[in-house]
């Protein structure tokens, strides 16, 4: 039976890399029933919004989606289409593998770690108060009454950082279950509980409590600044990292840098009833229509989707073919060549051709 999957091409270079990814996924032999939907700046004029209701309903109905990168329009009231999708579809876990592939330029080798980022809370909840506003003044008075050591004046903006027991417990249970199902040996809770005692302190306390339910998985904790240093010095010591929203956003890009950049950085946003797979990088509109950009990150996101759908044989076949094309280094885009002006670089579509041929499809 075919998998019914929401397919969102995105905008900018999104449609090109999305089409290349779709061709490779179809070539794995897995049957898909693609439900094509739109989001981003290209649909704004027609729909009046970068995120049409039909797109949201498609994801909620099909339970699985894959999307190209999307440009968030400026001045529309949307902070981010991607963040809006995570909120409305309750996609609470952001999953970002960071894996070394032979042939990708990097100072590191044999990295294979996964970042699990909580999507719904922390400073990314967007609870902010602008300087000079009445609500800000009332909040400042309350803070001064309860924390006389807090020193700030009229020109202060305020952002609130909520961390709850329920959301923290949910993300750590997800991380431990993921580790168990994927043969991972260790989970590391990342925090700043030495300073943020009531928010990150809660995060760490809940993590420690959840870890007791998974005695087969090693558990440890790291302060976030130390974690950054550790990843640069000895990333091979880490396996599954679990972070609140803001730290997770920062460290996921650090992790991508360790393995060669955003061009090989896949991602997924997963909830109880739905999952959406997407590359980590942006839409690069200046390259739109040039058949130039690297589709590997979205293709690797497709591999993650196959695993989520329990199509493990197809996922292995597709990832092995991607790895071989990268290793060979011949039919890859300009950014994966030793020199970016290498005349032997191929285009987005030609990368898909190479991977399909390597799979023997």
Q: What is the DSSP code string of 78-136?
A: -S-HHHHHHHHTT--EEEEEEE--TTS--S--S-EEEEEEE-SSGGGG--EE-TT-HHH
Same structural domain for residues 307 and 272? yes
Same domain, 22 and 143: no
Judging by DSSP bridges, how do beta strands 3-8 and 64-67 pair with one another?
A: parallel
Report the distance separating Cα 134 and Cα 34, nearest Å. Answer: 49
Q: Report if residue 147 sits inside a domain.
A: yes
pLDDT score for 71: 83
Q: Is the model's pLDDT at 13 over the cut of 70?
A: yes
DSSP structure class, residue 190: E
Statement to judge: residues 111 and 181 lie in one domain: yes
**In sequence order, what are the residues at sequence separation of 6 or more whose Cβ sits closer than 8 angstroms to the Cβ of residue 107?**
none
Q: Which of 258, 276, 305 is the last residue of a domain?
A: 258
**pLDDT value at 361 more than 80:** no
Q: Which residues are catalytic?
A: 124, 192, 225, 249
Q: Domain containing 134: what range?
A: 128-160
Q: Do 206 and 254 reside in the same domain of the chain?
A: yes
Residue 4, classified by CB atoms within 10 Å of its CB into exposed (0-12), middle (13-18) or buried (19+), is middle
pLDDT at 194 exceeding the cut of 70:
yes
Q: Is the pLDDT of residue 327 over 90?
A: yes
Asked if residue 115 and residue 203 are part of one domain, the reply reads: yes
pLDDT band at 76; cut points 50, 70, 90? low
Q: What is the SS3 assignment for 188?
A: strand
| Rounded mean pLDDT, 265-285 | 94
Residue 132 shares a structural domain with residue 184: no
Whether 154 and 169 share a structural domain: no
In a domain, 102, yes or no: no
Choosing from 223, 258, 293, the residue where a domain stops is: 258
Last residue of a domain, one of 258, 273, 305: 258
Q: Are 30 and 91 in contact (CB under 8 A)?
A: no
Q: Is the pLDDT of residue 49 over 90?
A: no
pLDDT at 155: 86
Tell me the per-residue pLDDT of 206-235, one tens digit each, with 9 for 90 and over: 999 999 999 999 999 999 999 999 999 999
Asked if residue 282 and residue 215 are part of one domain, the reply reads: no
In a domain, 56, yes or no: yes
What pLDDT is recorded for position 75? 56
* Per-residue pLDDT at 79: 62
The total of structural domains in the chain comes to 3
Q: What is the pTM of this model?
A: 0.93
Q: Would you say residue 225 lies in a domain? A: yes
- Between the two ends of the chain, the Cα-to-Cα distance in Å is 20
**For range 105-120, the mean pLDDT:** 95
């Amino acid at each position: 039976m075919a998998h019914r999957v929401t397919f969102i091409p995105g905008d900018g270079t999104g449609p090109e890399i999305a089409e290349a990814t779709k061709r490779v996924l179809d070539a794995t032999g897995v049957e898909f029933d693609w439900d094509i939907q739109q989001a981003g700046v290209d649909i704004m004029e027609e729909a009046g919004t970068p995120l049409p209701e039909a797109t949201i309903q498609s994801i909620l109905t099909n339970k699985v989606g894959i999307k190209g990168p999307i440009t968030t329009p400026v001045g529309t009231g949307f902070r981010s289409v991607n963040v809006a999708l995570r909120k409305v579809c309750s996609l609470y876990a952001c999953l970002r593998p960071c894996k070394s592939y032979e042939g990708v330029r990097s100072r590191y080798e044999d990295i294979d770690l996964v970042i699990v980022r909580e999507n719904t809370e922390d400073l990314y909840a967007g609870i902010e108060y602008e300087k000079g506003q009445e609500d800000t003044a009332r909040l400042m008075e309350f803070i001064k009454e309860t924390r006389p050591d807090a020193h700030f004046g009229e020109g202060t903006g305020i952002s609130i950082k909520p961390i709850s027991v329920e959301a923290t417990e949910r993300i750590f249970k997800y991380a431990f279950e993921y580790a168990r199902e994927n043969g991972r040996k260790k989970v590391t809770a990342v925090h700043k509980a030495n300073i943020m005692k009531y928010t990150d302190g809660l995060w760490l306390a809940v993590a420690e409590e959840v870890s007791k339910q998974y005695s087969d998985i090693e558990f440890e904790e790291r302060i976030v600044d130390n974690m950054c240093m550790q990843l640069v010095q000895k990333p091979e010591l880490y396996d599954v990292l679990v972070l609140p929203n803001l730290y997770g956003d920062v460290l996921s890009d650090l992790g991508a840098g360790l393995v060669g950049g955003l061009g090989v950085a896949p991602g997924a946003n997963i909830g109880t009833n739905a999952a959406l797979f997407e590359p980590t990088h942006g839409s690069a509109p200046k390259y739109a229509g040039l058949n130039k950009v690297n589709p590997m990150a979205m293709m690797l996101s497709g591999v993650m989707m196959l695993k989520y759908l329990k199509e493990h044989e197809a996922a292995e076949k597709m990832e092995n073919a991607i790895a071989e094309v990268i290793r060979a280094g011949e039919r890859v885009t300009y950014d994966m060549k030793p020199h970016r002006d290498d005349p032997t670089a191929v285009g987005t579509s030609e990368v898909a051709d190479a991977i399909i041929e390597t799979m023997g499809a």
